[in-house]
Structures are given as C-alpha cells and as structure tokens.
C-alpha cells in the first residue's frame, strides 16, 4: 500500500512541475543592434587638387572657406556639420533659401583663415576656395595635421557638379542626383533657347580696378564656362590664368558687347560703373554708353550651387528677346 501511495505522490509532483514549467514566459528575443553611420562607413576615394585622396571615417566637423562652399554644404543638407565658416568679408549674403542655415554657422574667420585657425578649430574636413592657399597655407600642411582637404577649384559646370557629387558621397547624401538633375534641366533649357545663336557675343569680366589696369577673368576661371553656356565668349579667353590685369586700351580693342561687373563689399558695382564712365577710353565703348552690364556678386561668380542661375542671368542680358 505504501508503495502505491508513494507512486501516486510522484505522479502528482511530476504533473505539478510540468504545469509550472508550461506557465513560464518564453524568453524575449533581444533586438540586434544596428550599426551607427560611423560604424558602417565605407571608405570613399575622390580625385581633387591633382591627387587621389581617401576618407576612411565619416567627417564630423567641417570648416568652409568661401561663401560658395558654405552654400554648397547647405544645399546638400549638411549645415549641421559645419563648425566654422570663413571668407565672409566680401559676401553680399546667402541665397534666401540658405540664409538661416548660413547665419547659424559660427564665423571662424571673416577673411582668409590661417593654417593655425583651421587646425585649432578641431575640424576633420576643410572645403575651401582655391583662393585661400599660398606659401603660408598649403594643403599638405593641413593634411599633415590630420585634416581632409577638398579644394573648390572647378573650371567647368560639370566639374562643379562633380565636386558636389564627391562631397555627397563622403557624407552619404542620397539625393545628390536629384539636385544635379534639376540644375542640368535648367541648363538645357538655356541651351534650347540659344539654339539659333551662331555668333557668340563678347563679354568682358570686370572684377576690380588695380591702379589704371582692370582685373579680369581668363580661360581657367569658372566665369569663362558660365559665359560660354550663356551664348557668349570671354573677351580675354586667350589668357590661360584664372585672373590677370589688362590695360584699358586692350579692353577698348576687344570692344565687348557687355560687361560683367562684380559687386562685393569694398568694391561695389556702382563704384565700378562710375569708373568706367569716367575713363576716357572705356567711356566710349558702346556697352558702357548703353549700360549693357551684368551685375554679379562674388558668390554668383564662384563655382557652386549658383552656377546655373549665373548662366541664366548672363544669357538674359545677352539675349533678352529669347528669355
């Protein structure tokens, strides 16, 4: 009898244990941690300033040197990456759509930055106009300090877009082709309207007066590409340099159909128009007498997000009946 009772007690305990085990909650599967953009970053290689470079980690702190460079970062949606902007001393202000973003970026240097300012900023990438570099500030110097340098030096509109593509790839910006496509479509629209133009109109670029000479754009200047796309020809396209000074007599001989006049702090449009009208040779040009001028800010004249709007502005003055 005792054996039967013991057997029954064992059965009861076994069933009880099974019941308890069946009521235990199933273990919850732990979510797999997703890698951060920094952890999943794939190295990006690009060619710029005559050499191949590779970025191995997503840059976190950027300095821009040039209002055009700052606007490009805003256009790419990367304003929050920029910890300092430079070369604002001649700027007439950002495009309205980027004004708030540009204003929110601290100014590192109102003019050209020094190497020490850039290094001390703690940035890991510099996007800068080629204008800032000289013997005292070199790309090699900054790279030695661990800073990736991308130089804004495009001489063609396609090169401007390639710069933007490179930066978009470095920062994993996905909508870059939409941005380029919108610009390309607008540029094609200008070309379509100029389809019947067979004789490009001569255009002189006046940046500033240097003594009695006039500082102008040569063939290596992005403005030559803008002028060509607008149906014009640079009056001094035979100059291989980006910038050079020419005599008033040379401008008189070129007899341009119109003049592009840069407007910026310290060298205004109105001052240069007055100087043209006061010069005994230049005042006799038909384009001066009839005020066939194109007013461009430095941001308009530099390589950047404004490239197509600049072409449109020049074309509208050259061929008003087509626009």
Same structural domain for residues 202 and 137? no
- Joined tokens for residue 11: 């059965």
Is 259 within a domain?
yes
Is residue 168 included in any domain, yes or no? Answer: yes
pLDDT for 150? 98
Whether residues 71 and 156 fall in one domain:
yes
Per-residue pLDDT in tens (0 to 9) along the chain, 323 residues:
444 444 444 444 444 444 444 455 565 656 666 778 778 999 999 999 999 999 999 999 999 999 999 999 999 999 999 999 999 999 999 999 999 999 999 999 999 999 999 999 999 999 999 999 999 999 999 999 999 999 999 999 999 999 999 999 999 999 999 999 999 999 999 999 999 899 999 999 999 999 999 999 999 999 999 999 999 999 999 999 999 999 999 999 999 999 999 999 999 999 999 999 999 999 999 999 999 999 999 999 999 999 999 999 999 999 999 99
DSSP secondary-structure letter at 22? H
Strands of the sheet containing 62-65, edge to edge, are 107-109, 82-86, 62-65, 125-129, 148-152
**Residue 32 included in any domain:** no
The CA–CA distances, whole Å, from 129 to 8, 53, 86, 87, 152 equal 91, 18, 10, 9, 5
Could you tell me if 60 and 128 lie in one domain?
yes
Element (H, E) at 244: strand 243-246
Confidence (pLDDT) at 34: 72
Total domains in the chain come to 2
Does any domain span residue 17?
A: no
| Other beta carbons less than 10 A from residue 147's beta carbon | 21
Residue 262 and residue 144 share a domain = no
Give kind and range of the element (H or E) at residue 56.
none
Distances (CA, A) of 225 to 191, 230, 311: 13, 9, 9
The pLDDT assigned to 11 comes to: 43
pLDDT number for residue 25: 57
- Cα separations (Å) of 216 from 260, 261, 263? 10, 10, 14
Cβ-based neighbours of 4, under 8 Å, separated by 6 or more: none
Distance between CA atoms of residues 275 and 207, nearest Å: 12
**CB of 119 closer than 8 Å to CB of 143:** no
| DSSP helix, strand, coil percent of the chain (3-state; round to 5) | 45, 20, 35
pLDDT at 24: 54
Based on the domain organization, do 126 and 213 belong to the same domain? no
CATH number assigned to the domain comprising residue 305:
3.40.50.1980
Q: Are residues 59 and 158 in the same domain?
A: yes
**Domain shared by 49 and 169, yes or no:** yes
Last residue of a domain, one of 143, 174, 205: 174
Residue 228 lies in a domain: yes
Residues 314, 238 share a domain: yes
Q: Is residue 160 part of a domain?
A: yes
Are residue 208 and residue 288 in the same domain, yes or no?
A: yes
**Are 212 and 309 found together in one domain?**
yes
Asked, for residue 22, whether it belongs to a domain, the answer is: no
Check whether residue 251 and residue 143 sit in a common domain. Answer: no
Give the separation between CA 231 and CA 10, rounded to whole angstroms. 101
154 and 214 part of one domain:
no
pTM for the model: 0.88
Task: Show which of 142, 174, 206 is a domain's final residue.
Answer: 174
By residue range, what is the domain housing residue 274? 196-322
With b meaning 16 or more CB within 10 Å and e meaning fewer, what string describes 204-215?
A: bbbbbbeeeebb
pLDDT score for 32: 64
Residue 313 domain-assigned (yes or no): yes
């Amino acid at each position: 009898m005792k054996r039967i009772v013991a057997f029954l007690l064992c059965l009861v305990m076994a069933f009880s244990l099974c019941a308890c085990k069946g009521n235990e909650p199933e273990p919850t599967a732990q979510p797999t941690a997703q890698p951060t953009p920094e952890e999943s970053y794939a190295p990006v290689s690009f060619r710029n300033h005559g050499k191949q470079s590779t970025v191995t980690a997503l840059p976190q702190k950027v300095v821009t040197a040039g209002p055009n460079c700052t606007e490009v970062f805003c256009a790419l949606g990367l304003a929050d990456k920029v910890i300092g902007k430079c070369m604002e001393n001649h700027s007439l202000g950002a495009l309205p759509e980027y004004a708030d973003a540009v204003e929110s970026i601290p100014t590192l240097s109102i003019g050209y930055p020094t190497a020490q300012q850039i290094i001390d900023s703690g940035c890991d990438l510099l996007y800068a106009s080629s204008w800032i570099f000289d013997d005292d500030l070199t790309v090699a110097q900054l790279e030695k300090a661990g800073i990736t340098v991308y130089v804004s030096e495009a001489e063609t509109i396609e090169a401007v877009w390639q710069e933007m593509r490179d930066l978009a790839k470095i920062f994993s910006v996905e909508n870059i082709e939409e941005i380029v496509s919108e610009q390309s479509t607008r540029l094609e629209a200008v070309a379509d309207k100029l389809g019947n133009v067979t004789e490009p109109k001569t255009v002189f670029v006046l940046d500033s007066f240097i003594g009695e000479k006039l500082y102008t754009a040569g063939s290596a200047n992005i403005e030559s590409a803008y002028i060509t796309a607008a149906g014009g020809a640079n009056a001094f396209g035979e100059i291989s340099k980006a910038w050079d000074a020419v005599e008033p007599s040379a401008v008189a001989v070129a007899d341009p159909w119109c003049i592009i006049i840069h407007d910026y702090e310290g060298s205004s449009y109105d001052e240069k128009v007055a100087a043209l009208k006061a010069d005994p040779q230049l005042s006799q040009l038909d384009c001066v007498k009839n005020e066939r001028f194109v007013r461009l800010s430095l941001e308009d004249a530099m390589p950047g997000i404004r490239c197509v709007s600049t072409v449109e502005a020049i074309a509208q003055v050259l061929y008003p009946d087509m626009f």
